[in-house]
Structure 1
Amino acid sequence: MSNPSPNQPLPPPVFQFNQDRNFDVKNSIFRYLKSWPWIVLCMLLGVVAAFMVNRYSTPTWSVESTVLVKEADHSVGSELFETSGFLKPSSNIENEIGILKSYSLAEEAVAGLDINVQTYQEGVLGLVRHYGGESLLVEVDWQHPQMVGGMIKVVAKDENSFDLSINEEDFQVYNPNDPFYKTDLEIVGLKEGTYSFGQWVEGSNFKFRIKNIAAVAGEDFYFQLQDTPSLAKKYKAELAVAPINEEASILSLTLETPVRRLGEDYLNKLMEVYLKRELEEKNRTSDNTVRFIENQLSGITDSLTFFEDRLEQYRTQNKVFNLSEEGNLIFERMQELETEKSQTEINLKYYQTLQNYLNNNSAEDLVVPSVVGISDPLLNSLVMNLGELQSEQVRLSANFSEQAPAVREIKNKIANTKKALRENVNSAIANTQTLISEIKGNIRQIDQEINTLPETERRLLGIQRKFNINENIYVYLLEKRAEAEITRASNAPKNSVLDWAKAGDFPVSPKTKVNFLLGLLLGFMIPVAFIYTKDFFNVKIEDVKELEKLSKVPVVAKIGRAKYGYSNPVLDKPKSPVTESFRSLRADMTYLSPNKKYMTILFTSTISGEGKTFCAVNTASAFALKGKKTLLMGLDLRKPKIAADFKLNNDRGISTCLSADIPWQKVVQSTSTAHLDVLLSGPIPPNPAEILLQEKFNEIMQEIKEKYEVVIMDCPPVGLVSETKELFRYADINIFVFRQEYSRKENVELLNDLHERGGVKKLYGLLNDIHIRSTRYGYGYGYDYGGYGGYHEEEGMPWWKRIFDRR
């Protein structure tokens, strides 16, 4: 391709116009990068805040212990009922978790520790909880209503007295007669003043006394009263119990607390209470057995004593001591039947007691059948399972309402077990009664044989038979009682503590590394979120790329901010970057209107203040410096500004020519710049819109265009007045001025409307007053013109401002 000849005009420049409205990731990243100093500063502040939190937060420790849960041995025949739903496993992980997290267990542990008085002392940032080693002892009468929740301050005056005051008045009243419902205390009846150590401080809602252990004069001491139900609920909620894994039957107990020794003591006490409860349940069975046997022995003892006396008396009176051989044989057979009958009657009595329990829902504890010699495995399994189900119901009822699914489920299991047990008992009673009838029939047959013996021997046999029957029963019951007592003595919890409570080596809160990471993230996210929110709600034009995306006409120039206080930097600061931008605009005008010796350029904007007059004045100055004969016309008849820029008097101008028959040549004023004349707007007329629509103005424009090479028209804002739309037809190039961070984005629609529906040709955009440098687009006021050292006058800026300058 051949190069154009020197005389051939250059082709007009191609202005790229980007109408892509899609999200630009790269540009968005640079948008945030230009604020990197603020982001780094916020991240440093986040790290400092994290350090302060780690340094002054009260550390929280995790205390952990483990318990081994052993499965109890199943009795014979129990597996037959488990599939029917009558029985449940005698021990399982979920039940043990429920027991450990129960309110009743927590309440017993709290009561055993005596931690209702919580003591504090002054710390760096507030009160610090103390546990153990207090120099003052607070003794509380919990049978009396007490103020709980608030904070009381004690200052020792000397060895015998102290000052008492209220530090926090958030008190509630704990009533021992209604321990689960506290009422707010509106008036604190505790009087502040001086009290003696050991003296009861008593009122309608408080009763306590303070004893001096090792306090010295001036030592302060804070304490807070907490009732046992509230503490039990608190620890119950804070305790975490879970298996160490899905396959194991080892439970891990975890408690997070700011006082690790208190946490260790509580978990240890809780496990002690847990094992004690299990042992008491086992001992209860042995106690019930002993009680049942002793009730039977009380009746047998009297009968045995009575028949022993009668036997001794009969032998003495009749001098008969031994039976004949025939009598001994009959006696041995009779004794076997009577012993069998007595044992069977004891079994029948147990069945009847159990039946009465089932029919009347007796509150007495059950006795296992095997204890009284009943070897029925199914009956034993049913009775043992019923006892466990009832214990489970008591525990669940203490923690859940009657409508809770777990409570309703346990009730259904109890009902099913009782139904199966009732049927089994009824059958056993019928079978036992039949067996007793058979034994009685055999005894009657032996009685007939006894009648053949001599009368003396016959009577001796009768008395001795009754004596031996009671003696055998007595010995049998004594053996069973001894077995029950041995069983009780050998009882031990099936579960065991693997590890007693121990706190970790490091606190779990505050989490130092997590806090530092969170501080960094927040320090990064907060300024990013602020920038995003600011951009989201920003309605002002911020850069050329944004204007190009919104505009449907090319943007031909970007003008920087004149930071020198001059309204005409082209003349006053010829080596400044902003002057170079007007030279660039002057060069572009040649290509926008090629092959024209004469050129008319119109400047307008949407509203006042966007810098159209500034651009018009400096563009005119740029053409004049090139040697072009230039006329600057002030056509803003409502708000004229050009006169002040050139220090001229606005007493005559275009309004004078149009309102009076005065030639325009007489009102044109020369300036100190060669080749630059100014036609001011003149005095403000009463009808500025109509005066520019006269035919005379058309004639004036034709004459001006013939005399001047370049005519610059400074017109009113097109968004505010109507006459500017009539002036577009006189211009070869129409420049619509926008101002960075001043012009609103929706104002671009007016430019687009003029281009599409207004029929305005040669319409271009210009962004004025660029002072926020945009590194994300690779351009900027300082980049374009300030990056080539020695070509332009550098703008002085302190180092600290350069760091935080918006780039």
Structure 2
Amino acid sequence: MANREVLPFETEQVSLKSVLNKYSKYWPLFLASVVLCLGLAYFYLLYATPEYTIVSTIQIKDDKKDPNGSKGEAFNDLDIFQSTRSVHNEIQVFKAKSLMVRVLKELSMNTTYFIDGPIKEKEVYVNYLPIKVAVNQFNPLAYDNNLITIRLEDKNTFTLKDAQGVKAYKIGQQITKPYATFTVLANSLSAASEIKDIKIKFNNLDKLATAYNTKLEVAPVTKETNVLSITLTDAVPEKGRDIVNKLIEVYNKEAIEDKNIIATNTVQFIDARLKDLTAELSNVEKQVESYKKQKVVTDVVTEAQLSINNASDYNRELTDWGIQIDVLNSLENYLKSQKGRYELAPSNLNIKDPTLLDLISRFNSLQLERQRMLRTTQPDNPLVLNINEQLSNLQANMLENLKNIKSGLVITRNKLRSNLAQNASRIKQVPSMERDLLEINRQQGIKQALYQYLLQKREEAALSLAATVSISRIIDPPFAGDAPTKPKKPLILLLAFIVGMGLPFAFVVIKDSFNDRVQEFKDVELVTTAPLLGEISHNDTRETLVVTDKSRSLVAELFRHNRANLQLATLGQDNKVILVTSSMSGEGKTFFSLNLASSLALAGKKVAVVDFDLRKSGLTESLGIPNEKGISNYLNSEISAIDDIIVALQTVTGLYAVGSGPIPYNPAELMMLPKVGELIEELKDRFDHIVLDTSPVGQVADALSLSPYIDSTIYLMRYNYTLKDQVNIIEDIYKNNKLKNLMMVLNDAKKQKGYGGYGYGYTDEKNESWKIKPRNRAKA
């Protein structure tokens, strides 16, 4: 058995079945926890105040994006009244505490009304009560002693009960208390008359506003739109609807008030500016009048244009006159020259003087006459000479006339030049005059335009004061469902069930995490590789010897199962001496040794069970036989014959017992004597199997001294008893081969579907049928 392995029959690392088996034994705890949690959830739902969700959607109007929206028309071009409203900013405005305080004040929410219900007090909205309380003045004491009870006696009287006692009052009578001054009035809105006892609580509006703000949710419906969803939860849906309606109303009202403040300040500013502008405009107009008088001008632009036109005329006339003078000078020079004496004089020279034109015409006619005569006569002909004389006279007359005409043209030209110079001087003054007058006119125009502009805007601002257009539009009015949204019964019951299942689960997990005992085979398997021989179930009886020829109990069958596994594990090997040990006392070594030996004896073998625990004897005591003589006597040589310490057991044929004898003072030294080997050799000659019940190897080393004489070792562990740290002892012994052919047996498995993950059947005491389902077994 140097090499062995664990043969899996139904091996699974982790399975649902094993997990269920682990927790199924705690089913009463799970059941009690679930019932308790569901019961607590039921009572919570019974006493919890149901709350309803009120939902409304509104659209925020944008002045710039909505030209038809609610905006001030004054100063639109200057964007004074226009604003781009951010949806996120408006959300913060809606959730402002000051806004909620104003809402609660306008709704007179400084009182809350309760009536007695079948289980608890129930809040009732004031609209459904026959009375209402009008609070005139609060005292801070009202918040400490703020619960009063009103009992209606009839339509006109009632009794008030508070910390000061009970007193009768009349409807409409002012009541003065140390904590408040208030009046109980008949509620005309309510038709309820069957309600008699009403409890009233005075509210601190600041704290109440904070409470409502925590329950108020304002969020955009989508990112792309400026539509907001307003959600509020309240125990009274009618009150919640009124609060949401009033919240939207106050929101619009405050926005209009803000706009009206701006409009009022604008009107006051415009009035002040108009008063100043009137005086400034009058001064500018006087400056214009004075300047025009000083410069002798009415309209600078018109007169400047006239001067420019005159200058153009003067230049044109000067040009014309100059041309005429040049023409006359040319004609005069032509006439004075010898060449022009008997030549035709130029006539088409744009000369406007009729006398000169007549002389030129006569001169040219005589020239032509002369030229005609010279074709037939001589130059000295009297007729020709007569014509020459006439031409000389006409030439003289023409020169004289030219001189006179030229003299008149020169005078006219000089006068035109003088007029042109004066006109040019006037034109030079125009820019300066125009600039000066333009500056004055600019000031006048600015002030006049500003005066007209402000006058118009004053009227628009005055009109905006009368405008009450809201900045939001209600898309869906506040609506509350018929069923309460809080508390959510299915969710609370589900959570109660989950908690009811989770608490025992957590308890088991924590319990197991702090439990340092072996609970299941997995605790052993993770530490050691030693093979598992089998398991022994819990012995419900007080009998020590449970394996007999007639026993068919579960424990007996498991011992038979372990016997079969032992035979398979040592098949083909000598396995006469079997040592049984454990980590500590109390793990069932003696019980296992005796019943294993009995199961071997029932198989027709001659078996001796030997009590080698010299420190604490238990075998003979459990069998009810005396322990006066035993192994300690033999090792101390007090007894020489082995027959004196061997006792045959009458219960099972072939089963013998050897007691430990009196407890010696040196058990460890006795275990080292050679006589131990002699004793075992002699027993081997007489018996087919020898089962050695030894002391715990985890506490003393006595069992290790028997290692040379044994063939196999059975290491016993007990569920919920053996410490997990002690499994390391098994691994050390198995790994270092300190005890030959070590195999493990797990004792005291509780009755369930599988012990430590290794299942076994059960015995029907009536028909003695049984079924074993081994999990693992050792193999050679």
1:237 positional shift: 3.5
Alignment map for 1:105-254 (pairs within 5 Å): 105-132=99-126, 133-134=128-129, 137-142=132-137, 144-148=139-143, 152-154=147-149, 156=151, 162=159, 164-165=161-162, 191-197=163-169, 198=173, 200-203=175-178, 206-209=179-182, 211=184, 220-254=197-231
Q: CA deviation at 1:111?
A: 1.0
**What CA deviation, in whole Å up to 9, does each residue of 1:662-710 have, x standing for no partner?**
1232122222132222111122223332233333333222222222222
Match 2:232 to one of 248, 251, 255 = 255
**1:606 match:** 583
Q: TM-score when scaled to structure 2?
A: 0.67
Alignment correspondent of 1:24: 14
Structure 1: runs of 5+ lacking an equivalent? 1-10, 166-190, 297-342, 350-432, 451-472, 796-807
Indicate the SS of the match to 2:177.
strand
2:705 matched residue in structure 1: 726
Q: Which amino acid aligns with 1:666?
A: D
CA distances 1:537-587 after superposition (whole Å, capped 9, x unpaired): 443223345434432221112112222332111028522222122223223
Q: Deviations over 1:383-403 (max 9, x none)?
A: xxxxxxxxxxxxxxxxxxxxx
Q: Does 1:547 align with 2:524?
A: yes
Following the alignment from structure 2 to structure 1, what is the Cα–Cα distance between the partners of residues 766 and 149?
75
Q: CA deviation at 1:87?
A: 11
2: CA distance between counterparts of 1:478 and 1:779? 103
Aligned to 2:88: 94
Query: CA, structure 1 residues 572+740, in 2 after alignment: closer, same or farther (shift >3 Å)?
Result: farther
**Cα distance in 1 for residues equivalent to 2:272 and 2:732:** 110
Instruction: Tell me, in whole angstroms, the C-alpha distance in 2 between the residues paired with 1:237 and 1:142.
Output: 27
2:61 alignment partner, one of 70, 76, 79 = 70
- Contact between 1:568 and 1:614, CA under 8 Å: does it hold in 2? yes
Evaluate the alpha carbon distance shift between residue 649 and residue 794 of structure 1 in structure 2; reply closer, same or farther with a 3 A threshold: farther
Residue from 241, 251, 271 that aligns with 1:274: 251
Determine the C-alpha separation between the residues in 2 that align with 1:596 and 1:71: 99
Instruction: Answer yes or no: is the 8 Å Cα contact 1:652–1:683 preserved in 2.
Output: yes
Report matched runs for 1:539-688 at 5 Å: 539-571=516-548, 574-594=551-571, 599-663=576-640, 664-672=642-650, 673-688=652-667
Change over 3 Å in CA distance of 1:347–1:239 after alignment to 2:
farther
- Normalising to structure 1: TM-score of the pair? 0.65
Among 51, 60, 74, which residue is 2:51 paired with? 60
The 5 A counterparts of 1:336-375 are 346-347=276-277
- Residues 670, 677 of structure 1: 8 Å contact kept: yes
Equivalence for 1:444: 290
- Judge conservation of contact 2:534–2:562 (CA < 8 Å) in 1: yes
Q: Is the 8 A contact 2:97 2:209 kept in 1?
A: yes
Matches within 5 A, 1:290-329: 291=268
Change (3 A) 1:478 1:137: same
Quickly say closer, same or farther: Cα 1:776–1:580, change in 2 above 3 A.
closer
Q: Percent identity?
A: 28
Answer yes or no: is the 8 Å Cα contact 1:149–1:225 preserved in 2: no
User: How has the CA–CA distance of structure 1 residues 136 and 95 changed in structure 2, closer, same or farther, with 3 Å as cutoff?
Assistant: same
* Bigger shift: residues 536-545 or 634-643: 536-545
1:17–1:553 CA contact under 8 A, matched in 2:
no
Cα offsets for 1:251-288 (capped at 9, x unmatched): 22211111211111111112221222222233334444
Task: Report the secondary structure of 2:615's partner residue.
Answer: coil
Q: Separation in 1 of the partners of 2:12 and 2:559?
A: 32
| CA–CA distance in structure 2, aligned partners of residues 623 and 707 of structure 1 | 15
1:767 to partner: Cα distance: 0.9
- Paired position in structure 2 for 1:406: none
Please state whether the residue corresponding to 1:760 is helix, strand or coil: coil
User: Per the alignment, in what secondary structure is the counterpart of residue 764 of structure 1?
Assistant: strand
Letter of the structure 1 residue corresponding to residue 55 of structure 2: E
The verdict on how the C-alpha distance between 1:267 and 1:750 changes in structure 2, with shifts beyond 3 A counting, is same
**How far is 1:491 from its partner?**
4.5
Instruction: From the superposition, tell whether residues 768 and 481 of structure 1 become closer, same or farther in structure 2 (CA, over 3 Å).
Output: closer
1:425-574 aligned at under 5 Å gives the runs 438-444=284-290, 485-571=462-548, 574=551
* Structure 1 residues 779 and 255, CA gap change in structure 2 (3 angstroms): same
Distance 2:269 2:565 in 1: 117
Deviations 1:46-103 (A, max 9, x none): 6665555445422111112222222214899999999xxx999443323322322223
State the SS of the aligned residue for 1:195: strand
Residues 46/78 of structure 1: CA separation in 2 closer, same or farther (3 Å cut): farther
Task: Name the SS for the 2:547 alignment partner.
Answer: helix
Note the C-alpha offset of 1:218: 12
Q: Is the 8 A contact 1:771 1:781 kept in 2?
A: no
Q: 1:43 to 1:243 in 2, by over 3 A?
A: same
User: C-alpha displacement at 1:614, in angstroms?
Assistant: 0.4
Distance 1:610 1:192, change over 3 A: farther
Shift of 1:766: 0.8
Q: Distance in 2 between matches of 1:576 and 1:475?
A: 119
Q: Is the 8 A contact 2:646 2:656 kept in 1?
A: yes
Equivalence for 1:748: 727
Unaligned segments of structure 2, at least 5 residues: 297-449, 773-780
Higher mean Cα deviation, 770-779 or 477-486?
A: 477-486
Q: 1:712 to 1:501 in 2, by over 3 A?
A: same
C-alpha distance in 1 between matches for 2:295 and 2:573: 159
Report the Cα distance in structure 1 between the residues aligned to 2:278 and 2:614, rounded to whole angstroms. Answer: 125
Structure 1 segment 374-385 matched on structure 2, within 5 A:
none
Contact kept, 8 Å, 1:629 with 1:675, in 2: the verdict is yes
Aligned equivalent of 1:391 = none
Give the letter aligned to residue 50 of structure 2.
P
Equivalent residues, number: 598
The Cα of 1:611 is off from its aligned counterpart by 0.7
The one of 685, 688, 691 aligned to 1:706: 685
Classify the secondary structure of the residue corresponding to 1:277: helix
C-alpha distance in 1, partners of 2:452/2:81?
A: 35
TM-aligned CA deviation for residue 523 of structure 1: 4.0
Query: Are the aligned partners of 1:136 and 1:212 in contact in 2 as well (CA < 8 Å)?
Result: yes
Bigger mean CA deviation after superposition, 716-725 or 440-449: 440-449
Task: Give the letter for the 1:444 counterpart.
Answer: S
Distance 1:681 1:158, change over 3 A: farther
Partner SS, residue 102 of structure 2? helix
Distance 1:78 1:659, change over 3 A: farther
Q: Which amino acid aligns with 2:109?
A: I
Give, in whole Å, the separation in 2 of the partners of 1:113 and 1:147: 19
Aligned residues of 1:161 and 1:194 also touching (Cα < 8 A) = no
Alpha-carbon shift at residue 789 of structure 1 (Å): 9.3
Using the TM superposition, give the Cα deviation of residue 779 of structure 1 relative to its aligned residue in structure 2, in angstroms.
Answer: 4.2
Q: How does 1:749-788 map to 2 (within 5 A)?
A: 749-757=728-736, 759-775=738-754, 779-782=758-761, 786=763
Q: Residue 735 in 1 paired to residue 714 in 2? A: yes
- Give the Cα separation in 2 of the matches to 1:474 and 1:130: 61
The aligned amino acid for 1:276 is K
User: 2:256, 2:470 within 8 Å by CA — same for their partners in 1?
Assistant: yes
Determine the C-alpha separation between the residues in 1 that align with 2:670 and 2:496. Answer: 66
Partner of 1:183: none
For residue 234 of structure 1, report the CA deviation from its aligned partner.
Answer: 2.8
Match of 1:264 in 2: 241
Deviations 1:484-526 (A, max 9, x none): 5544334423433333322123222122333344344434444
Question: Would the alpha carbon gap of residues 438 and 146 (structure 1) be closer, same or farther in structure 2, given more than 3 Å must change?
Answer: same
Instruction: State the shift of 1:745 in Å.
Output: 1.9
Is the contact between residue 267 and residue 462 of structure 2 (CA under 8 Å) also seen in structure 1? yes
Whichever residue aligns with residue 202 of structure 1, its letter is: K
How far off its partner does 1:606 sit?
A: 0.6
Query: What's the counterpart of residue 805 of structure 1?
Result: none
Counterpart Cα distance in 1 of 2:480 and 2:194: 35
